[in-house]
Structure 1
C-alpha cells in the first residue's frame, strides 16, 4: 500500500503571521507548485482525503478532481487566540510560556502539539485502514506528526521534521510496517 502525505502549496499570508485553522487562500505560485506535486504522483487510483481548509481542498481538487473527502482531523494545529496575529504582536511572556512546553501547553483557546499529534495519528490510522493506496492532502503539522509516527521519532524531536510547501512524503505499508520512500518529493 502506498501512502502520499501532500502538503498544501504556499499560502497567501504575510511572513511572520501565526496561522493554523485560518482558512487562507493560496499564493500566485499555486499552479507551478501543484504541477510539481502532480508530476511525482504515480498513476494509481488513490483514496483521497483532505483538510477542509481551502489551501488543501484546492490542491486536492487540482490533483484528483472532486474524488476526495474532507476530514476535520487533517487541519493544522489550532492557534486559537493567536490566529492571524503576527508573532511580534503575541505577548512575549505568553509565547515564552507556550514555547517552553509546546508539547503539552495549549495555545490560549487552541491546542497543544500533543493534541495535534494525537488527532493526526488517529486520523492516519483510520483513513489508511482500508489497505488501499491513499493520499492525504494536509498541513505541515499533520505530516510532521505522521512522519514521526512512521519513523519512530519521539514526539519531542518530531518538530524538526520538515516538509516544504507543495511537496510530499511517500510512505509504503508492508507486512513489517511503514517504510519512508521519500520526503520533500
Structure 2
C-alpha cells in the first residue's frame, strides 16, 4: 500500500507525513530565541527531534516511544539539536 511504499513521505488524507511534521518542528525550533524552554508535546515531535539530533531518518526512530507523561531532555545548539536523553 502507499504507506508501506513510503513511510516517511506518506500523508493520510487531511494529515501530514512524518517528514512534513519533522520539517514543521525543525522550522519552529529554528525560530526560537530562548535560552531554555519547556515543550509539552507528543511522541511524533520527540521522534522528529531525536532523529534530527542523531542524524537518522525519521523512519529509523519509529521505535522511539516515550511513555505517556514522561520527560525527554534535549539540548539545542547553534547547529540545531544535540540529544541529551
TM-score category of the 2 structures, normalised to the smaller one: 0.7 to 0.9
Q: Structure 1 residues 159 and 134 mapped into 2: Cα distance closer, same or farther (>3 Å)? A: same
Q: Which secondary structure state, in structure 1, belongs to the residue aligned with residue 49 of structure 2?
A: helix
Counterpart for residue 106 of structure 1: 11
Q: Which secondary structure state, in structure 1, belongs to the residue aligned with residue 40 of structure 2?
A: strand
More strand by share: 1
Counterpart for residue 2 of structure 2: 97
Kindly report structure 1 stretches of 4+ aligned residues shifted beyond 6 Å. none
* 1:149 paired to 2:52: yes
Name which one, 1 or 2, has greater alpha-carbon Rg.
Answer: 1
Q: Does the 8 Å CA contact 1:148/1:154 hold for their aligned counterparts?
A: yes
Distance in 2 separating the partners of 1:104 and 1:98: 8
> 66, 74, 77: which is aligned to 1:171?
74
Distance in 1 separating the partners of 2:7 and 2:24: 16
Q: Give the TM-score normalised by the residue count of structure 1.
A: 0.40
Instruction: Give 5+ residue unaligned stretches, structure 2.
Output: none
Equivalent residues, number: 85
Report deviation, 1:113. 1.4
Q: CA RMSD in A?
A: 2.2
Distance in 2 separating the partners of 1:174 and 1:97: 36
Select between 144-153 and 173-182 the one with higher mean Cα deviation: 173-182
Distance in 2 separating the partners of 1:97 and 1:121: 25
Q: Give the TM-score normalised by the residue count of structure 2.
A: 0.78
Counterpart for residue 70 of structure 1: none
